[in-house]
Amino acid sequence: MEGRILEKQPVIEMRGVTKRFVDVIANDKVDLKLFPKEVVALLGENGAGKTTLMNVLFGYYNLDGGEMLINGESVTFSSPKDAINHGIAMIHQHFTLVQTQTVLENVMIGMEGSFFLNYKKAKDKLLAIEKEFGFQLDPDAIVWTLSIGEQQKLEILKALYRGAKILIMDEPTAVLAPTETIELFDTLRNLVKSGHSIIFISHHLQEVMDICDRVVVLRNGRRVAEATVSETTIPELASLMVGRELLERLDKGKSKTGDAVLEAKDLKVKNNRGITAVDGLSFVLREGEVLGVAGVSGNGQTELSEMLFGEIKPEEGEIFIYGKKIPGGSPAAVIAEGMARIPEDRIKTGLFMDLSVKENMILESHIKEPISKKGLINMKEIRIFADNCINSFSVKTDGMDIPVKSLSGGNLQKVILARELVGNPKLVVACQPTRGLDVGAMEYVHQAMLDQKVSGSGVLLISDDLDEIFLLSDRVIVMYEGKIMGEMSAEEADRDKIGLWMSGVIS
């Protein structure tokens, strides 16, 4: 925006803010200042601690260390209500709107004041705010008839109606179409002009350059850098974001690449909001290699994995396993070709949490002999199979008959690994296989992937954890907005370059 006014008092000052979860430090002595009429970007990869920091600021989490000052006054928030009372509002990625109510009713929720509703007064106030900031939302429109961009505007209106002066926006552009992003930025500029301050969480570098004054970069929970936008460049930000640590070198093991196991040709699909998520994607995976698919999450990786797993049908393009064309949208067909599948969300799609460990082990083999024959299941064979799975993958469980939900996260993932890998498949597709796991479980998963590769399987590793990608992959492709930005081999791995590709910049 216009020049910063550094001599002024910051509206928000976080000093040495620390937040721990059981065994992870999510924020480690983070400092952050926000000045009046300023847009500060909070930049970092997934898991860098951006959202946690903002949840602390918004009163969802208690501080484990450090302090927060609002307008120079030390504050303690015990719930978002306290933050709201201090003029802070948070606009979440997932909207908190009542879809069947009108714009006006959504704005009024929680602000009723007394037993009787004064629609007229509320409407006048809403319209005045809309006029001041250039919004054009019909107060009587029902929310579900609004576009995503309009719903986001309504979230902002709600905040303004409550007198918010500080807006925290959590990846606001992730859900928007390009034209809606331009409109959002216009709105934000208007807000800043009238004295609001904004914290903008993002990992889209171009957007940060477009809208922000200052950038604070987080990595692994620490504040690693700060820069003034007018004095920095996209390549510099990219390298700050992904870091320059020495790459950890795991013994990747030796293997000879062989035939093409999996081939994707011009895959194209829209996501559930109707926006193109995967846009003409092609790659070939060979026996004996790990192909890493890197990228900031939300760039089509989920949809790519769902197409490969058979969960959704590609609108265009084809998938081949060992040269055989696979009908789209059929998990059964993919299973029949022997693909081992590690889904992104093990609880939502990978497991029957209320069923026993053994019943989860047979999810994909329950229609095959000897597990079942002529429609009847063979409990003896199931026990043998499950026992073998549990032992080969050292799943820590109190027997095979207890509900799988009583296992720890790492062991849940081991149940899936065991089920998928026990038959030594020639093709493994894993999507975010270590998300949410502790270090020990993570190493186990990594080793299992490498073992598969060494034994001659092709492994496709989709992950937004760049360290993981570098650690395991022989080749890396980078996805951005559903397209492949580039490919490089492990030997020429260059974090800066990959960082740029992940941000949509080709250099």
Partner 1 sequence: MIGMSIVKRKPLPGWVMLVIPVAAVFVTLLITSIPILIAGGNVFKAYGALFQGALGSKFNLLETFVKASPLILTGLAVAFAFRAKFWNIGAEGQLFAGAIMATWVGIYFTWLPGFLVLPVMIILGFLGGGLWATIPAFLKTKLKVDDVVTTLLLNYVIFHMMGALLFGPMQMPGSSWPRSASIMDAAFYPMLIARSRFHLGIIISFVAVLVIWFINNKTVFGYQSKGVGINLNAAKFGGINTNMVILKTAIISGGLAGLAGVGEVAAIHHHLMMDVSPGYGYTGIVIAMLGNLHPVGVALAAFFFSVISVGAQTMSRVAGIPIYIVGIIEGVALMTMLIFILLTEYKIRWTKS
Using CB under 8 A, list all residues that contact partner 1.
309-311, 330-332, 334-336, 341, 343, 348-355, 359, 362-364, 366-367, 372, 375-377, 402-403, 405-406
End-to-end CA distance of the chain: 27
Least CB distance to partner 1 at residue 384 (A)? 17
Contacts from 136-141 at CB under 8 Å and sequence distance 24+?
137/103, 138/103, 139/102, 139/103, 139/104, 139/107, 140/102, 140/103, 140/104, 141/102, 141/103
Exposure string of 171-201, with b = 16+ CB inside 10 Å and e = fewer, is bbbbbbeeebbebbbebbeebbeeebbbbbb
Least CB distance to partner 1 at residue 271 (A)? 16
Least CB distance to partner 1 at residue 458 (A)? 21
- In terms of CB distance, is 290 or 415 closer to partner 1? 415
Q: What is the C-alpha to C-alpha distance for residues 245 and 224, in angstroms, rounded to an integer?
A: 12
Least CB distance to partner 1 at residue 228 (A)? 46
Least CB distance to partner 1 at residue 309 (A)? 7
Least CB distance to partner 1 at residue 162 (A)? 26
- In terms of CB distance, is 14 or 415 closer to partner 1? 415
- In terms of CB distance, is 260 or 377 closer to partner 1? 377
List the structure tokens of 484: 């492949």
- The residues, any chain, with a CB within 8 Å of residue 92's CB and separated by 6 or more, are 155, 170
Strands 39-43 and 65-70: unpaired
Indicate the angle between helix axes 409-421 and 439-454, nearest 10 degrees: 10
- In terms of CB distance, is 363 or 505 closer to partner 1? 363
- In terms of CB distance, is 331 or 436 closer to partner 1? 331
Least CB distance to partner 1 at residue 441 (A)? 20
Residues β-bridged to residue 69: 13, 74
- In terms of CB distance, is 406 or 489 closer to partner 1? 406
Least CB distance to partner 1 at residue 381 (A)? 13
Identity of residue 280 = G
Least CB distance to partner 1 at residue 346 (A)? 9
- In terms of CB distance, is 6 or 376 closer to partner 1? 376
Exposure string of 288-323, with b = 16+ CB inside 10 Å and e = fewer, is bbbbbbbbbbbbbbbbbbbbbbbbbebeebebbbee
Contact assessment for residue 173 and residue 202, using Cβ atoms and an 8 Å cutoff: yes
Ranges assigned E (strand) in 241-342 = 260-270, 276-286, 290-294, 316-321, 324-325, 339-342
List the structure tokens of 390: 């549990």
- The residues, any chain, with a CB within 8 Å of residue 46's CB and separated by 6 or more, are 203, 296, 297, 464, 465
* CA distances for 289 relative to 239, 339, 449, angstroms: 27, 15, 10
- In terms of CB distance, is 285 or 334 closer to partner 1? 334
- In terms of CB distance, is 46 or 372 closer to partner 1? 372
Least CB distance to partner 1 at residue 119 (A)? 31
- The residues, any chain, with a CB within 8 Å of residue 255's CB and separated by 6 or more, are 288, 289, 453, 454, 456
Q: What is the C-alpha to C-alpha distance for residues 253 and 438, in angstroms, rounded to an integer?
A: 23
- In terms of CB distance, is 230 or 330 closer to partner 1? 330
